[in-house]
Amino acid sequence: MSIKKLIGKWSSFTLLFIWASLAYGADKPNVVLMLVDNLGFGDLSSYNMGTRGGIQTPNIDSIANEGLQLTQFLVEPGCTPSRAGLLTGQYSIRNGMSLIIAPGSAGGLDEGDFTLGHLFQSVGYNTAYAGKWHLGPNAVSQPQNQGFDQWLIGFKGTTDQVVYAANMEELGAPETIQEALSPKILEATGPGEPREVRDYDFEYRKIIEGDIARKSIEYIEDSADKEEPFFLMVGFTRPHFPNDVADEFKGISGAGKYGDSIVELDIRTGEILQAIENAGVEDNTIVIWISDNGATVTATAIDEVHQGDNGPFRGELGDAYEGSIRTAGMIRWPGKINPGKSNEMFSIHDFLPTLGSIIGAEVPDDRPIDGVDQTDFLLGNQDNSNRNSLITFIGDRVAAVRWNQFRVYPMVINPTSNNPAVGGYLGTVTETAGFPQIFNIEADPKERVDIAPTGGGWIMGPYLQTVSAYRATLEEYPNPPAPNVTKF
């Protein structure tokens, strides 16, 4: 993006700031951010102490061992909401993306949104995206128009669509619907419409992770010797259902398709880490490895019964419980971030202001930013995180509020009565009688004892203060309509 366009889009950026940023861009760290899809807190050997048998993840574990492993990394309860929170530093509801964008529905990032891609571009970075996007079906919402110079390879929706596409003809869907909802593999260079590369079908689902890794490696090799630093974001697809893998990975874990999928994910991560090392930029590259939300625990398919593990926490993808929003997160920056573990609270929204601080980029002041700057915490200048609360939304509802070690629920999400029971987005909502449920997540990680009736009522104070502070921002910055496919 040209300097003229940057100034036109964000008037708060001065010409002097832009030119100065470009001038010292070569001294800035490269950043490689790997985002995986629906992986639970207990799925990696670095988090579960090897209790999942054959699911061994040595390459991913190396990031945790050499960097900061976050054991209280918090996200939003679904693919689209978490990705929106990561890219914008805002609660997803502020951009109308507080539910997963379903096939055939609209919504997504808009022209006026400010993303991580824009942040890095503003100080002279070359930016690229590879893999799953899921932040809107239209070109305006896609990486090449949201701050990324290239979309190396990827698709705009969700891997579920390979299942829908296979079933549509059999179920008699009109040809126009079949064509509209059949997923495509895309790529793009510069703003505009993407190019279609091929269909995203069951057979390609087996090998897509290898292509995402290969394209990422080629980009690292090409960018390492250039004067400008680079920001690469990798949107892996695993372990999102369906988890069919190529023949070379079948049975590799001894834990079914799900386990095989995670082992392949670890191998692909290792390939990218090796590329960073081979390119000679390891010491000046921040590596971030995170999941977008917790795993699906209830059965997805009869031949994929080995499902995800959300550790000691209840809940799963799509609901507001700890197992949905607490997942794996780790950050490595040799010589800058001390290796170790931390149980301090760190949110997916915090990356935008934190990385902005690290690279000297200006974060917009014309909108609320819900992320907090965690630079001093990451660099060891302070022991504590700068975050002590987080609101979780489902659609237009405040579904949960985290304050310190307490979780407060103004509504209850239940599994269905079907057999097998299904929770998450397919569950049902029960209204409370006017007072929320309250759990002490440190003393009771499975959230089995509601402490509201037995002395926990005082937490209503900070709970209401947290929600009130958020609501006060809506007077100047009202939210767009929240997504909903049951209320029109």
Do residues 185 and 272 share a domain?
yes
Closest CA to 401 of 342, 473, 476, 459: 459
3-state secondary structure of 197: strand
Q: What is the CATH number of the domain that holds 469?
A: 3.30.1120.10
Tens digits of residue pLDDT in 250-276? 999 988 899 999 999 999 999 999 999
b/e string for 237-260 if b means 16 or more Cβ within 10 A?
Answer: bbbbbbbbbeeebeebbebbbbbb
Closest CA to 1 of 86, 187, 87, 126: 126
Do residues 423 and 358 share a domain?
no
Range of the domain at 451: 390-473
* Pairing between β-strand 230-235 and β-strand 126-132 as defined by DSSP bridges: parallel
Total domains, the chain: 2
Do residues 264 and 397 share a domain?
no
Q: Assess whether pLDDT exceeds 80 at residue 386.
A: yes
Measured CA angle at 487 (ends 481, 488), to 5 deg: 70
Do residues 188 and 167 share a domain?
yes
Do residues 294 and 154 share a domain?
yes
Cβ atoms of 220 and 276 within 8 Å: the answer is: yes
Confidence of residue 13 (pLDDT cuts 50, 70, 90): very low
Confidence of residue 164 (pLDDT cuts 50, 70, 90): confident
Q: What is the pLDDT of residue 168?
A: 79
Q: What is the DSSP string of 148-168?
A: -SEEEEEESS-TTHHHHHHHH
Confidence of residue 102 (pLDDT cuts 50, 70, 90): confident
Q: What is the pLDDT of residue 383?
A: 95
Q: Assess whether pLDDT exceeds 70 at residue 417.
A: no
Tens digits of residue pLDDT in 299-323? 556 556 557 899 999 988 889 999 9
Q: Which residues contact 410 (CB under 8 A, 6 or more apart)?
A: 397, 398, 399, 400, 401, 432, 436
Tokens of 185: 């593999």
Q: Please give the model's pTM, rounded to 2 decimal places.
A: 0.92
Do residues 286 and 347 share a domain?
yes
Do residues 445 and 316 share a domain?
no
- Once rounded to an integer, what is the mean pLDDT over residues 243-248? 94
Q: Assess whether pLDDT exceeds 90 at residue 174.
A: no
b/e string for 456-478 if b means 16 or more Cβ within 10 A?
Answer: beebeebbeebbeebeeeeeeee
Do residues 367 and 434 share a domain?
no
Q: Assess whether pLDDT exceeds 50 at residue 65.
A: yes
Q: Assess whether pLDDT exceeds 60 at residue 10.
A: no
Do residues 379 and 396 share a domain?
no
In a domain, 27, yes or no: yes
Measured CA angle at 79 (ends 331, 360), to 5 deg: 40
Confidence of residue 484 (pLDDT cuts 50, 70, 90): confident
Q: What is the pLDDT of residue 300?
A: 57
Cβ atoms of 391 and 325 within 8 Å: the answer is: no
Do residues 239 and 114 share a domain?
yes
In a domain, 485, yes or no: no
Burial class (CB in 10 A: 0-12, 13-18, 19+), 291: buried
Q: Among residues 389, 419, 449, which one ends one of the domains?
A: 389
Average pLDDT, the chain: 90
Do residues 381 and 461 share a domain?
no
N-to-C CA span, the chain: 38
In a domain, 483, yes or no: no
- Residue 360: CB atoms within 10 A of its CB come to 16
Cβ atoms of 231 and 127 within 8 Å: the answer is: yes
Percent of the chain beyond pLDDT 70?
Answer: 92
Confidence of residue 51 (pLDDT cuts 50, 70, 90): confident
